[in-house]
Structure 1
Amino acid sequence: MTMYLWLKLLAFGFAFLDTAVFVAGNSTPPNTPAPTNASKPSCENKYRGVSVSYVFNKDNNTFTATLDVKEECKPPECEKEYSGLHACVNKNISMSHSSCEPPFQHVLEVPPGPNDFELKDCVQLEEAATSLCLHWQNYSFLFSGQFTCNETKIEYKFKCGNHSQVGKNYMFKVMNLKPRTNYTCSSQVFYNQQLLISRKQTIETDFEAPGEPQDFACFAADATEGNISWTPPQNDFHSFSLCYQTIPKQGEANCTSLDKTQHRTDLRHLTPYTKYEVLLQARVTGRTVRKSRNVTCQFDTSATYPGKVKGLRVVRKTENAIEVSCKCPDQRNGPEGSYYLEVRTGNTLVNSYSRSECKFFVEDLQYLTEYNFSVYYNNTLYSGPRESATGSTSYNAKAVIIFLVFLIIVTSIALLIVLYKIYDLHKKRSSNLDEQQELVERDDEKQLMNVEPIHADVLLETYKRKIADEGRLFLAEFQSIPRVFSKFSIKDARKSFNQNKNRYVDILPYDYNRVELSDVSGDPGSNYINASYIDGFKEPRKYIAAQGPRDETVDDFWRMIWEQKATVIVMVTRCEEGNKNKCAEYWPSLEEGSRVYGDVIVEINEHKRCPDYIIQKLTVGNRKEKANGRAVTHIQFTSWPDHGVPEEPHLLLKLRRRVNAFSNFFSGPIVVHCSAGVGRTGTYIGIDAMLEGLEAENKVDVYGYVVKLRRQRCLMVQVEAQYILIHQALVEYNQFGETEVSLSELHPYLSNMKKRDPPSEPSPLEAEFQRLPSYRSWRTQHIGNQEENKSKNRNSNIIPYDFNRVALKHELETSKESEQDSDESSDDDSDSEEISRYINASFVMSYWKPEMMIATQGPLKETIGDFWQMVFQRRVKVIVMLTGLKSGDQEACAQYWEEGKQTYGDVEVHMKDTNKSSAYTVRAFELRHSKRKDPRTVYQYQFNNWNGEELPAEPKELVLMIQNLKQKLPKKNSAEGNKHHRNVPLLVHCRDGSQQTGIFCALFNLLESADTEEVVDVFQAVKSLRKTRPGMIPTLEQYQFLYDVIASTYPAQNGQVKKSKHPEDKVEFDNEVDKAKPDANCTSPVEALEKTPEGEKEAGGAKPTEGAEGPEHAANGPASPVVTQSA
C-alpha cells in the first residue's frame, strides 16, 4: 500500500517536470517564461464583403464570374475569376491566405441564362387598340418542366411612358391608351439584384373599329338587277363588306368585298319577283379585322316572263280523249298564275283551256287524228314560252268490231274452201316421202360455171378483181353452185326412225357417202348418223363432216369416233351462241374425269384454254373390246362470231397448224363439225385442202373444190362470206407465209433470220418486215380531224380511226343495276357519235380476246379532265406511262396527277401512294364519281428509262414491269368465256400514243402468247396493231427489238427454252382447270374492232326441227380486201 502511494506521487511529479530541461540534461530552468502562439484573424471576416459579377458567354452558353477582392488573395489560395459556369448551377469556392484561418467557404449563385427568357407581346387582339401587354416567358421552365434557379431572387421591371411596374410579376399590362399611338417601353430582368436582361422597344396601338356607312340606300333597277349606294364613315377604314340574301332566307348569303373608294355598286343576276335584304359594313385591317355595325336596306325585284313548263305528257285515255299534264316551270318570275292549253290540228286552233293546275282532260276529239298540244304558264303579268307535244286519237273501236266480225265470217268460209282443196290434192299426191322434197332442178350440172384455177402469182390480183364492186364476181360464182345435187339420193336420213337424229330437216347426208355405224340388233336405224365422208386434196375420205351432236346422238357420235379410228376432232362452234343451242356438250368435265357413252368410255386427261381455241386431251376406250384406249385430241375453235365470219383469216390458218400438229398418217379421218356440219365445217375443210393444193401445185381451184364438197354433202360452204373467206385465207398464206415460231426453235430461227445471204440482199428479217402492210389511211379519221377536235391532238399524223376510237360519254349513266351487271355491253358498246366527246385514244385488241387495251397520247393540259373521265368510264385498272413529262425541250405529257385530291368534272382523283424503283414508279390513285358511292383503285406505272429514245435502254426492266403490273389486272373469269365487256383494264400512253405504246402493246401480247402457247408470231402481232392505230411499229429496229426481247426473256439452255423466273410472272389469266364446262357454252366474242357493213344471209329453206333459226348466218364478207403495202 505504501509502495503504491509512492509510485503515484512519482508519476505526478514527472508530469510537472520541464521536459525540455530534462531531455537536454539542463537542470537549470530559464529565467524568462517561453513565448506562446497568438491566434490568427478569421478568413470569413477578411473576405465577407466580396462582390461577384457575372458575364454571359453566348458562344458556349456559360457564365464567367469575377470576384471583386480588395484584400490580398492570390492563387492558389483563391481565384478572382471563374469561367465555364452553367446557368443555375451553384459553385462552392474556397478563399484563404496565410494571414487568416480557416479558409472562407463561399457559394457562387450562377444566374439563369439570358436565352431562357423571351419578351412576348401578350395583348388580346380585341383590346389591342387601347391596351398593351408585355410578358417575360421563361423557356427553361416551359421545355424542361422545372426551373432550377431560385425564383424568389428574380425581379422584373417594366416602364412604358408614365406607367411602370417593379416586382415579381412577369406580366405588365396598361389599359385606356389612345389608338394608333406609339409608346416606348423598357423591360428588365434582375437576378439576385443584378441586371440580367434589358429590352427596349416601341409599341403602336392598333386601329379602332370604324364607324358605320352613312346614307345607305337600295332599290331595284329591273327584274334581275339592284342598285346600292352609300357614303363612307369619317374615321379610318380599309374596305367595305356587302352581303345580300332573299327574304325569307334560302341558303347562304352572297357576300363580296368592295374597295374603300366605292360609294355604289350593282347587284346582277337576281331572281325576279323576290324581296332582298342588303347588309353593308366598313372594315379596317390591323392586327385583326375590325368591323363597323351593319347597316341594312330592302328592295323587291320586279316580275318578268316565266320559264317553260316541264315534263309535258300527252296520254291517250280513250279512243278520242287525251290527257295533257305538266310540271310547273322552274321560274315563275311573278305572282301565282294559270296554265293555258291550245289544241291545234294542222294550223287550225281547235280549242283552248285555262287551269290553275297543269292537268287538262280534252274530250270529244276526232278519231284517227293527230293533234298538237301547246302549254304555257302565265303569271298574271307575263306569259312564258310554249312547250308542245303531239298526240293522236285511235280508231272507233265499235265500228271496227262490227267490221271485223263480218270479215271473220267471210274469211272462215274462204278458209274452209281452201283447206278442202288442199286435202283433196294431198290425197292425189304420192305417199313416197323420198320423192316429195325436190330442192333444185334435175339437171344440176348445167348451172355450173367454168372457173379456171388461180395461180399463186396472180392470187392477190384475182382476189382484188373479184371482190371489187361489192364482190359481184364472187357472188356469181357462189350462186352458180347447186345447194343440193339431186342426183344423189337421200333416203336413209329421211326414214321415220332417223328423223329425230337430224338437227335440221334439210341438212341431210347423201346415201352413197354417209358414215355407216355398226348395226345393233333390234334397233332399226342404229347404223345411221348425220355425217359424211369428205375427200381432201387428192386424199380420199380424209375428213368426216358431221353435224354437232344432239343429246340423242352423243352415244352414236362416240361410236363413230371409235369405229372410224379418229384421233382428232375439230369443233368449229360453241355449244350455245346467241342463247341458241348449237351443239350438245359431248365430253366429260374435268370434275367428272370420265363418262360412259353407250359402250364407249371417254376420259379427259388435259384441258388447255387459249384465246382462240381450247385443246382437250382425251382417252377413248370400248367396254366390249380388249384393245387399249386411244388418244384423241379435241380442238374447239372459239373465235367464230355469232354472225358472219372471222375478220382475221390468219386465225383459221393458226387453227390448221394446231390440227395438223396432232394428226398423223396412221390416224383415221379428221372429224370436223359445227352445228349443221356444212357452213363452218366446209369452210375449214376448204381452207385446209386448198392450202395443200397451193403447196403442191402452186395453184388453187377453190370453185372446183367447193363444187366437189357440195357433191359429197349438201350446202357445204353455206354462204358467200365463207366462200370469200377461203380465198382470203389463201391470199394471207400466199402473201405472208408461216411467221409463227415456237420458243424451242426461236434462237436458231432468229439467228438465221438476221443473216444476209448474199450480203447485198436484205436479210429474211428485213424482208419479213417489208411484207408488213402499212394500213395507212385504210379507215376514216373524220372525228379526229374535225376543226373543234384538232387542238386535242399532239401529232396531226396520229389521229385515231373512227371505227375503234374511244368515245367519251357526256354524262355517266346511273342505273339501278349493279355496276358489275352494267359492265356488259352489246357489240357496239352503245357508244354513238352524237352523244360522245372526242379524245385521241384507240381500242387495241389484247392477246386474250375480246379483252382490249387503250392506246392514247399523253394528255394535254386541256384534256386532263377527259383523260380521267376515260379512265373512269372504261374502268381502267392500270395506266402505263412510257415517257417523262418532257422529251428534250418538248412536252411529252402534261402532269395529270397532283398530291392529294383533284376534281375533274364529276371524277375526284386522290393520289394515295407512290413507290419508286430504279426503272419505274408505281402510283396508286383512288377515283370517286359524284354519282357513284364506291371508290375505285387505279395504278399508274411510269417507266423511267425510255426518255426520248426510240428503244428502251434496259429491255429487261420493261419486261419486269410488265410482269409486275399483270398482278394488278383482273384475272380472266373462265365462266364468262368470250363475253364482251366495256371494261378496258389496261391503258397505255406515250407522247403520241403510237411510237412507244406500239412497242409496249406488241411486247405485252407476245409475252402472253409465249407463256400460254409457247409460240410467238411477231408478224401477226404487229400487223394487228397497225390496223388499230397509225404509227404503230414503224421501223425495222423496233420490229427486231421485239424478237430480241422475247429471245432474251426465254433464253436457250442445252437446246431447251429456260423460262425466266420472276415472282411477278405468276399471274394466271385462266383457271379453267376447275371450270371446264362453262367454256363450251360461252357466248361469241364480239368483233369490236371491225364489223361487216353488209347484212346477213341465212340458209334458205332451213327449218330447224327444234324451232331454232337457220344453221348458219353470215354477212357478204369483209368489205376491205387484204392488200400488201410497203411500210
Structure 2
Amino acid sequence: MVMMTTTGMMPLSGFPREEALRAALYMLHMPACYVPTRVEASEMIACQIRGTSGMATTQPTFNNEKEQDDGHRTTCAPPAAAAPSGPSPAGTPSPALSSPTASPTRTSDGTSNSSGLVPTTHTSAPTQSPPTTTTTTTTGDSLTPSHAATAPAPAWDVLTGGGGGCLSLRNAKFANVDVTYHYENNKTFHAEVDADGDLTCPSPLQCGNRRIGGLQECQTISVQISHQSCANYKTLLLHVPPGPENFRLVECVQRKKPTRLFVYAGKQMQRRAVTQRKLNTSISVKVKCHALYSDIQRQHLFLSENNTSTEEEFEITDLEPHRNYTCSSEVFYGNHLVVEERKTIETDFGTPDSLSNVACTTVSATEGKATWESPQPIFHNFSLCYHRLNSGSRNCIDLSENVKEHYLSNLDPYTKYEVSVHAYVIGKIRREGAARTCEFQTASAAPSEVRNLVVVPKSDNIMQVTCDPPEHFNGPSTHVYRLEVLTGGSVVKRDSQKKCQFLVTDLHYSTQYTFEVYYYNGDMVEIQIQLLNQHPVNNSKALISFLVFLIVVTSIALMVVLYKIYDLHKRRSSNLDEEQELVVRDDEKQLMNVEPIHADVLLETYKRKIADEGRLFLAEFQSIPRVFSKFPIKEARKSFNQNKNRYVDILPYDYNRVELSEINGDAGSNYINASYIDGYKEPRKYIAAQGNPPTVPGSLRGTVLGRVQEGVSEVACVPLLGPREETVDDFWRMIWEQKATVIVMVTRCEEGNRNKCAEYWPSMEESAREYGDVLVKVTDYKTCPDYIIQKFSITNKKEKIAGREVTHVQFTSWPDHGVPEDPHLLLKLRRRVNAFSNFFSGPILVHCSAGVGRTGTYIGIDAMLEGLEAENRVDVYGYVVKLRRQRCLMVQVEAQYILIHQALVEYNQFGETEVSLSEFHPYLSNMKKRDPPSEPSPLEAEFQRLPSYRSWRTQHTGNREENKSKNRTSSVVPYDYNRVQLRHELDVSKESEHESDESSDDDSDTEDPGRYINASFVMSYWKPEVMIAAQGPLKETVGDFWQMVFQRKVKVIVMLTELKNGDQEACAQYWGEGKQTFGDLDVHTKETTPSSAYTLRVFELRHSKRKEPRTVYQYQYSSWGVEELPAAPKDLVSMVRDLKQQLPRRRAAEGSKHHKNVPVLVHCRDGSQQTGLFCALFNLLESAETEDVVDVFQVVKSLRKARPGMVSTFKARAESKAQQDDPKPSSSPAGTGRAANGPESPALTQSA
C-alpha cells in the first residue's frame, strides 16, 4: 500500500468564495487518470531494461498530458505500455502491459465495500504469489512478479543458498515495501521507498538511495528493485497520485437546486472518448454536513476501476434553506486520502411559495385592481406584471412585501388584461416563486370621435353624410351610428345606421343645418364629434316650395290661434275630455315596464342600476312624464288664484286638489296649492303642499317668473310673488279643516342666501299669533342636529270646540345643492314623524318650497318602507308614476329618485338600530344573549353588519413618498376628502382676530402643498361643530401640529395616550415647561393641574402677526393602554363632562349652519384606536342628553367613513356605574348607549 502525505502541498484556503443562492455547492477539481488501451507510436518512448535472462523488454515512458479547464482542472493519463517484441522466457520480468484487473476493495476488517470507498491506511503488505501464469495487483502500489503467459514460472534463486532461500530473502527484503510520496514546489513528486535493495528507474527519473525523483502526477511507473542475495530483480509498480492543487473545494452558484450540495468532477470526461479508456484506480468522496437538529452524510464513487463514467456532479440533498451548515469533504484516490477540507456555509433563502387568492377586479374604464394573500416562507418583495391579453408588451413593477393590493391605472377601456404576481427573495441571487395570474376586463367608456365627417349635397334639398369609424370603440362593437340634424338649436331629424352613411332628405331652402354624428357602443353615452354646418342647394323649385309651405303654415297657425281663443270661451267639458284623450296615449306610451324589486335582491339591483353613472336609473326616471296631461288644471290657472301659486308650472290637478271651505261666496276662497297623495294602500294619507312664499315688497306682487326645479337646481328658485295676508291664513285654515296633526317641513326658511319659505308660525318671543280665524300658540320647542320639533296648540275662534295639538317637524339637514349624502338622516326623520302620528290623525302635511321635489322624496321613502315591511318587496318606479299622476313633478330630479332607493337599501341592510334610554338596558340584555350558545349574539351579529369602508375613498396625499414618513403607521392614513389641510402662513395672517369668526377661505385654494399632517375631520353630534381626529405627533411634525391647532381655532385638545407604549414612542411631547417657538407661533405652558382622572394643561398661543393670544386646554387621559378598554370609564365620562364646559356655547339660531372653526381635537397613538371610541362616546352622550335615544350602529358607521381603523373590532366589558348621584342623561352613564357605564354595558373598541 502507498501512503501519500501533503508535505509541500499548496494551501487550499486562499481561494475566493463564490456567492450561492441558498445552498453551498462544492466543486471538486481533479484529474481523470486513465491508461489508454491503445497508444500511438508517437506517444511512446522505448527504453531497454535488461533482466537476469539477458532478454530485453520494452519499457514505455509516459506522455504526461495536461489540460487546463476553467483555470482549475488538470487531467493527466499515462499511455499504455507497448507489447513485448517476443515471448518472455521464464524468469524474465515484464511490466504490466494493460490495466490491472478490477477487484473489490476491502476495509480493515476484511469486509467488501461495494461503493469502492476504503478507509485510509498508510502501510499495507502487497499481495504476492509464487510464480504463476497470472498476475495480480492491489489498489495501491504493489510488488508485481514478472508475467509470462506461456513460459514456466521464473526461477527465484539465492546466490548463496540455492532453492528456497531466495524466497525467504524475498519475503525479508521485498515484502512490506512502504512508499511515501512528497509533493515538490515545482509540481512534481518524489517517492521514498522503504526497501532494502537497489532501485533502477527509467529515464529521466532520478533514482538514488531509496529515493525516486522527478515523478509526474498520475503516472504509473515500473521500478526495479534488486538485491545481492537474489539473482532476479523485482518490479515495483508505482501509481503516482494527482497533485493536491487539483483538489479545490469552492462554493459555486446553482440556481435550480438551492438546498442541495454538489461535488463537481469536471467536464474532461465528456471531452474525451471515455469509452476507449479504463480507470487505473478509483476516485471517491465522502461529505458530511452538520447543522442544528440536522446531520447529513453522503458518500459516492465517482469512478471505479475498469469503469468509465460521464458523471460531473454528486448531489447531496435534504439541506434546509437559510441555515448554517458545517461541511467536511474527503477525497480518496484509491485508498489514499488526497484532500480533506472543512467549511462553514450558509444556505440561501428558499424559493417563495406561490401567492394565494389572487384576484382581479374592474374599477373603472381605465383602472383595475389586483389583490392577493402573501405566501408563508420568507420573501422580500412582489413583482406584478400586466399586459393586454394576447397582445401588448408587459409592464412590470416591484411592490413591497406589505402590499396586498395594487391599482392599475392608465388602462385602455373595454380591454382584457392579464395580471401575474409572484413573490421573490434576494439573497445570494434573486429567486422568484411561481407566478399566479388573473384576468379582468376594464369597463366601457365613451367611444372616441368618428373621423372624417363629410357632408356632400346630392341633389335639391338632399345631403349625404359619411364618416369613418372612431379610432377607439371603448365598448361592444354595436356598429350603430346615429345622426342628428339641428337647426336653430333644435333637432329636426334623427337616424341610425349600421354604417356611417346617411341620406338626409326634405331639407328646407335657405336654412342652415348642423349635422352631428355619434357612435353608440351599447354601454356608454354617445360622443359627438365636430359640427358641420351646411345649406341645402338653392334652386327655384325649392324656393317656391318653401314659400308655399310658409304661407300654408302661417295660415294654419292663424286659424289655430283663432280657434284656441274661441275654444277658451265656448268649449264644453266633453270637448276638452275628448281632446285630452288624444294626449293620454302619448303620456302612457313612454312609460317603461319596471318590475318590483324583492328585498333579497334590493342591494344587487341598486348596484346594477347605479353602475355606469346611473345609466339605468336615468332611463327609468326620464321615462316618467313630468305632467300627466289627461288631468285638467283649471282652478289653479284662474286669474283670482294665480297669485296664490309660488311657481307658474307647479300646479295641482283639479281632481285631487285640497278644497277649502268658501268664505262669504268669495271666488277663489276655496283654493290652495296643495294635493291629496295616496300612501301605501292608504288613500289620501298625505297632503303635498307648496311652502308659504316669504313676504316681498308690494312692488313685486304679480310678477310672473319662469319654471324652476328643486334638488340640484333648486338654488335658482325664485318666488312667483310676495304673499298676501290670506296666503298663510289659508295654510292654517287647511290644517284646521283637514284635521292635520303633523306638519313635515323639508326645507329651511333660507338656503344659499335665498328665501325658500316664510316662517308661518309665531316666534318664540311673541308665543302666539292669529292667522285669520286660527290662533296658533307655541307650547314646546326643541332643537336637534338634523331637525327642529315644535308643538303648536291651535284653536278656531268661530268654532266652539277644544283646541288641537299640532307637531311641526322641520328637517334642516337637506343641503343647499343636491340631496343628503347619508340616507339614514331621512330614515331618522321618518321615525320622528311617525312617533307623533296616530290612526285618528288627519293627513300628514308635507311641504318644501314648491311641494314636489323634496316633498315627493320623503313621501316616496315613507310609503315604500311600508310596502317593504308588508310585502318584502318595493315598486319604486310604479309609486313615483302614481305620485306624478297625483301631483306634477313629484320626485323632481334623478338624484331624488336614486335617494329613495338608497334609503330602502339602508333600511333593508341594517334595520332599526336606534334605542331609547328607557328601553336600553332590557334591549342590551336581549342583544347579548346567544341562542343557541354556539351562534353569535345579536349584538355581535349587528357589529359584523357594519360596513368596513376600506379604501372607499382615495388616500393619495398621505401615501406620497415625501409624506409616508409623517404617518405613524401605514394602516391609518387619512382620506383625501376630509383630511385637515394646512394653509400658507400668508393666508393665516389674514384671518380674523376673533375666535368666533368664520374663515371664508377655501382650504383647497390656500393649502400649502409642502405641508401634510395625519389628521381627519370627524362630524360631531352637533353637525356644525366638527371634531379633528389626529395621530400623536412625531418629533418632526410637532410644529405642524401646533399650526393645525392655531389655524383651526381648536379650543380643547383631548390626549388619550402616554408618551410611550413600552419601548416605542406613542406620541412626541409637543409641550414644554416654558415657551416653545414653532415658526411664527409661540406656545406657552401656563398651567398644569393633575387629578386622579386626568391631567389638565393650559396653553397660551401667540402668533407674531396677531395681537390677541389664544387659550387652549389639553385634557390627558392616560389610564388607557393600546388595544385595551379604559381602566376607569367613570373617569372618562367625567372628563368629557368637564371639557364640554370649555367649549363655546352653541347658538340655537345657527341651526345646521356649518363652521370652519373646530373646537375639539382628539388624538391617541395613531388617531384611530382610542380616538375612535372617544368620539363615539362623545357623540352618544350628546344624543342621550338631547334626544333620550342612542344609535351606536350609526355613530360607528359614520366614524368608519371618516377615518380608517375607527372602532374596527368588537369587545364587551362590564363597566361600573359612572355616576350614582345624578340620574340626568347629561351625567348619568345610563345615557351613553353601548359605550355607557352601567351593569353589563358593552364597549365597542377598535384595534389596528
Confirm or deny: 8 A CA contact 1:1051 1:1059 kept in the other structure: no
Distance (Å, rounded) in 1 between the aligned partners of 2:1103 and 2:1005: 20
Once the two structures are superposed, the pairs formed by residues 984-999 of structure 1 within 5 Å of their partners are 984-999=1158-1173
Question: Residue 1083 of structure 2: SS of its match in structure 1?
Answer: strand
State which of 968, 983, 988 in structure 2 corresponds to 1:794: 968
**Matches of 1:756 and 1:845, distance apart in 2:** 34
Deviation, 1:851, is: 1.8
CA distance in structure 2 between the partners assigned to 1:872 and 1:569 by the alignment: 44
> Which TM-score applies when normalising by structure 2?
0.49
* 1:908 partnered with 2:1082: yes
Aligned length: 642
For the pair 1:505 / 2:505, whether they are aligned, the reply is no
**Quick one: which of 693, 699, 703 aligns to 2:867?**
693
The match for 1:521 is 664
Residue 478 in 1 paired to residue 621 in 2?
A: yes
Quote the offset at 1:615 in angstroms: 0.3
Does the alignment pair 1:895 with 2:1030?
A: no
Question: Are the structure 2 counterparts of residues 746 and 431 from structure 1 closer, same or farther at C-alpha, using a change threshold of 3 Å?
Answer: farther
Q: In the alignment, is residue 784 of structure 1 matched against residue 958 of structure 2? A: yes
- The correspondence of residues 411-810 of structure 1 with structure 2, limited to 5 A, is 430=565, 443-550=586-693, 551-552=723-724, 553-810=727-984
What CA distance in whole angstroms lies between the structure 1 residues aligned with 2:1128 and 2:846? 47
Does the 8 Å CA contact 1:810/1:837 hold for their aligned counterparts?
no
| Residue-by-residue CA offset, 1:477-498 (whole Å, 9 max, x unaligned) | 0000000000000000000110
* TM-aligned CA distance change 1:1050 to 1:568, over 3 Å: farther
Q: In the alignment, what sits opposite 1:1030? A: 1204
Tell me the equivalent position of 1:91.
none
CA distance in 2, matches of 1:752, 1:996: 27
Is there any run of 5+ residues in structure 2 with no aligned partner, and where? 1-553, 694-722, 1233-1246
Amino acid at match of 2:596: P
Q: CA deviation at 1:982?
A: 1.3
Deviations, residues 306-356 of structure 1 (Å, cap 9, x unaligned): xxxxxxxxxxxxxxxxxxxxxxxxxxxxxxxxxxxxxxxxxxxxxxxxxxx
Shift of 1:947: 3.1
Q: Deviations over 1:513-542 (max 9, x none)?
A: 000000011421000000000000000000
Whether the aligned pair in 2 keeps the contact of 1:509 and 1:713 (CA below 8 Å) is: yes
Q: CA deviation at 1:810?
A: 2.4
Residues 1:849 and 1:827: Cα distance change in structure 2 (over 3 Å): farther
Distance 1:487 1:744 in 2: 53
TM-aligned CA deviation for residue 443 of structure 1: 2.0
1:915-953: CA deviation from partner (whole Å, max 9, x where unpaired): 111120000011011111111000000002113352100
> Judging changes above 3 Å, is the alpha-carbon distance between structure 1 residues 1061 and 782 closer, same or farther for their aligned structure 2 residues?
closer
Inter-CA distance 893–421: structure 2 relative to 1 (3 Å threshold): farther
Return the letter of the residue paired with 1:848.
W
CA spacing shift, 1:964–1:865, aligned 2, 3 Å:
same
Shift of the alpha carbon at 1:900? 1.4
- What's the offset of the Cα at 1:424? 11
Q: Distance in 1 between matches of 2:1111 and 2:568?
A: 67
Matched residues in 1 for 2:1010 and 2:658: separation?
56
| SS state at 1:508 partner | coil
Q: Counterpart in 1 of 2:1045?
A: 871
Q: Distance in 2 between matches of 1:963 and 1:769?
A: 27
1:1080 aligns with: none
Q: 1:852 to 1:701 in 2, by over 3 A?
A: same
SS in 2 for 1:461: helix
2:966–2:1034 contact (8 Å) kept in structure 1: yes
Shift in alpha-carbon separation, 1:482–1:959, aligned structure 2, 3 A: same
Change beyond 3 A, Cα 1:486–1:424: closer
**Which protein has greater RCO, CA pairs closer than 8 Å, 6+ apart?**
1
- 8 Å contact kept, 1:854–1:988: yes
* One-letter amino acid of the structure 1 residue matched with residue 876 of structure 2: V
Q: Following superposition of structure 1 onto structure 2, how do residues 76-225 of structure 1 map, counting pairs within 5 Å? A: none
Structure 1 vs Structure 2: percent identity of aligned residues? 79
Deviations 1:1002-1039, CA, capped at 9 Å, x for gaps: 000000000000000000000000001000001111xx
| CA 832–476 in structure 1, closer or farther in 2 if over 3 Å, else same | farther
SS state at 1:868 partner = helix
Name structure 1 gaps, 5 residues minimum. Answer: 1-418, 1067-1125
Q: Which letter maps to 1:920?
A: Y
Residue 654 of structure 1 and its aligned partner are, at CA, apart by 0.4
Contact 1:781 1:800 in 2 (8 A): yes
* Equivalences for residues 373-384 of structure 1 within 5 A: none
1:544 alignment partner, SS class: strand
Contact 2:675 2:687 (C-alpha < 8 Å) held by counterparts: yes
What's the CA shift for 1:978?
A: 2.3
Determine if contact 1:842/1:855 at 8 Å carries over to the other structure.
yes
- The alignment yields a C-alpha RMSD, in angstroms, of 2.9
Q: 1:904 and 1:832 mapped to 2: Cα distance?
A: 20
Matches within 5 A, 1:895-1044: 895-1037=1069-1211, 1040=1212
How far residue 836 of structure 1 moved from its aligned partner, in angstroms, is 6.2
The residue identity in structure 2 corresponding to 1:794 is R
Q: Deviations over 1:390-443 (max 9, x none)?
A: xxxxxxxxxxxxxxxxxxxxxxxxxxxxx9999999677527679999998862
Helix, strand or coil at the partner of 1:517: coil
1:1050–1:1060 Cα contact (<8 Å) kept: no
Shift of 1:579: 1.3
What does 1:815-830 correspond to in 2, within 5 Å?
A: 818-820=992-994, 823-825=997-999, 829-830=1003-1004
Whole-angstrom CA distance in 1 between matches of 2:679 and 2:890: 14
SS of corresponding position for 2:1131? helix
Which amino acid is the alignment partner of residue 510 of structure 1?
A: Y
CA distance, structure 2, for counterparts of residue 433 and residue 868 of structure 1? 74
Q: Matched residues in 2 for 1:431 and 1:813: separation?
A: 68
**What is the CA-CA distance between 1:1060 and the residue it aligns to?**
6.8
In the other structure, the counterpart of 2:155 is none
Pick closer, same or farther for the CA change 1:786–1:706 going to 2, 3 Å. same
Q: How far 1:833 moved relative to its partner?
A: 5.4
One-letter code aligned to 1:863: T
Cα contact 2:626–2:884 (8 A) shared by 1: yes
What is the aligned partner in structure 1 of residue 142 from structure 2? none
Mapped partners of 2:1097, 2:799: distance in 1: 65
Question: Following the alignment from structure 2 to structure 1, what is the Cα–Cα distance between the partners of residues 1179 and 817?
Answer: 26
Structure 1 length normalisation: TM-score?
Answer: 0.55
**1:570 CA displacement:** 0.3
Quote how far apart the aligned CAs of 1:1051 are: 8.4
Aligned mates of 2:594, 2:953 — CA distance in 1: 33
Q: How does 1:239-318 map to 2 (within 5 A)?
A: none
Alpha carbons of structure 1 residues 839 and 816: separation in structure 2 relative to 1, 3 Å: closer
